[in-house]
Amino acid sequence: MKNIVVVTVWIFISLISGVLVSTHFKNPVFYENPRYILFTHMVINDMFQLTLAVILYVISYVFYTIKVYFCCFLILLALFATMVTPLNLAAMAVERYIAICNPLHHPQICTVKRTHLLIGLIWVAAVSPFIPDFFVTLAIEPVSFFQSSMFCHPVNVFKAPYLLYKRPIIDALFFCFVTLTLLYTYIKIVLEAKGATSDKSSATKAHNTILLHGFQLLMCLLTYVIYPVETVLLYIFPDRIPDVRYSTYLTVYILPRFLSPIIYGVRDTAFRRHLKKYHLCHAKRPKMKTMSCMR
């Protein structure tokens, strides 16, 4: 049942994300908007990360052990993609901050070229902490280790003693950076929205949107505290290891990827309009009415 739930949710989220990505690439307007470029990058990355996480989860139940070299490859890709999401959300928060609090300079600061460069920097920042772990493991472990089989978990693969200290430090640095960025930008956005509008309904809508964003960002920030939280839970419930890991897996890896398309895609007015135009409208109307639907 756990595998069925995980795979079903993965298929559902992938379908929603696939529709959003196809909507982006079918409309050239989104190509020139940094907000939607960052959003689409996040959705694609989340689909990639979620697919890897589901593969690792199902493998752990079906085969239990796999070759270390294959496990190492999957874990590194999953770690890279997992670290990208919070950084991407921080970048989206900064972009919204500039658009709302400094709209006159937004077109000059947030260009398409700089957005692509920012995405590259996000990936460099996400990959850099884990590359040394891989080379250290290659140096200290014999070749036979990579040919052996084991339960695929980062703790079982990257066993160098210094990692016990390095990973919490890296996670703490990333956590502080992303958290401070989000707090600053969203507080400024709330204050700006409150002072810029006298329409109570508009202010309420803006505040509700920011609260939803904050909840999703909080869920994604759990990425940085997953290991200490899981360690504490395993210490409290030593006989419930599968249930603890299943619960943290759903909370940290599944739920934020479910919220992203809804918060940043379906609730966005422009994106929702084009979503209906390219997908829902064609699905509901006969082929002969397609042209009128497009109009």
* Encoded tokens for 86: 């919070």
Whether pLDDT at 290 is above 50: no
* Encoded tokens for 12: 């559902």
Whether pLDDT at 162 is above 90: no
Output the CA angle 256-58-77, nearest 5 degrees. Answer: 60
Contacts of 222 by beta carbon, 8 Å cutoff, 6+ apart: 229, 251, 252, 256
Whether pLDDT at 117 is above 70: yes
pLDDT tens digit sequence for 128-161: 888 888 888 888 888 888 888 888 878 788 887 7
Give the pLDDT score at 216: 67
Give the pLDDT score at 264: 63
Give the pLDDT score at 210: 62
Enumerate domains of the chain plus CATH numbers.
Answer: 2-287 (1.20.1070.10)
pLDDT tens digit sequence for 166-195: 877 887 888 888 888 888 887 887 777 666
pLDDT tens digit sequence for 39-79: 889 889 988 988 888 888 888 778 888 888 888 888 889 88
Whether pLDDT at 292 is above 60: no
Give the pLDDT score at 293: 45
CA 47 to chain centre: 8
* Encoded tokens for 19: 């529709």
Whether pLDDT at 113 is above 80: yes
